[in-house]
Amino acid sequence: MRRRMKVAGLTIDPVTNSPVMLLKDLESEDSLPIWIGLLEATAIASELESVKFSRPMTHDLFRNVLKSLGVSIKGIEVCDLRDDTFFALLHLGLGEKEMSIDARPSDAIALALRFDAPIFVAETVLAKSKSSTESRPGQAEVKTEEGKKWADMLSELNPEDFGKYKM
C-alpha cells in the first residue's frame, strides 16, 4: 500500500545546515521529512518556483532526453528506508512497456515535478520513519534528542510556515 504525497516545502536543518524536503500526505496530516543534498534541493526549489535557467540543468537535461525518446514518468515512489537511507523508484512508461528504475528520492522527486507525475510513499516507509517513536496519548515520544527537536518543530509547522528555499 502507498500514499500519495506532495512536496510541502524545503527548509534547512539548523543543526547540520543540510536541506530538508518535507513530503505531506494529500489525505491526512502525515508528513515525511527527507534530508537531501544542496544540489538536489536547488533542483527541486527551481522547479517549485518555476525558475528557468539559460542552459538546462541536470534534471532538465534528463527530462528533455526522456521526452525526446518518448518516455514518460508515470509516478515515483519512495519505497524503502534502510539504515537511515531512503530509496525510491522511477516508474517509467514507453508505449505499452513499463519499467521501474532505482533512484534517490531527491532525484526522483525533482523529475516527478518536471513531469507533473504523482509522488507516492510506501506505508512501510512511513512506519519505519516512525519506528523510533512510542505512542502515548496525544503525542509521540522520540528516543533521541535530535529526534525530539524535529518532532516538536514538525508538529508545530504548517506548509505555509515553509519559506521559499533560497538558492
Q: Model's pTM, two decimal places?
A: 0.78
152 pLDDT exceeds 80?
no
Flag whether pLDDT at 107 surpasses 70.
Answer: yes
Q: Give CB contacts under 8 A, 24+ apart, made by 39-43.
A: 40/104, 40/106, 40/107, 40/110, 41/10, 41/106, 41/165, 42/165, 42/167, 43/106, 43/107, 43/110
Return the closest-CA partner of residue 6 out of 162, 118, 150, 115.
118
Overall average pLDDT of the 128-139 stretch: 52
Do the domain assignments include residue 103? yes
| Structure confidence at residue 47 (pLDDT) | 94
What CATH number did the domain enclosing 27 receive? 3.10.690.10
Residue 23 domain-assigned (yes or no): yes
Query: What is the pLDDT, as a whole number, of residue 122?
Result: 96
- 166 domain residue, yes or no: no
Reported as a pLDDT band with limits 50, 70 and 90, residue 142 is very low
- Which residues constitute the domain of residue 141? 2-161
**30: which residues sit within 8 A by CB, 6+ positions away?**
3, 24, 126
- Into how many domains does the chain fold? 1
Question: Is 59 a member of any domain?
Answer: yes
Give the mean model confidence (pLDDT) for residues 116-138.
Answer: 76
Q: Is 167 within a domain? A: no
**146-154: average pLDDT:** 59
Residue-wise pLDDT for 24-33, tens only, equals: 999 998 999 9
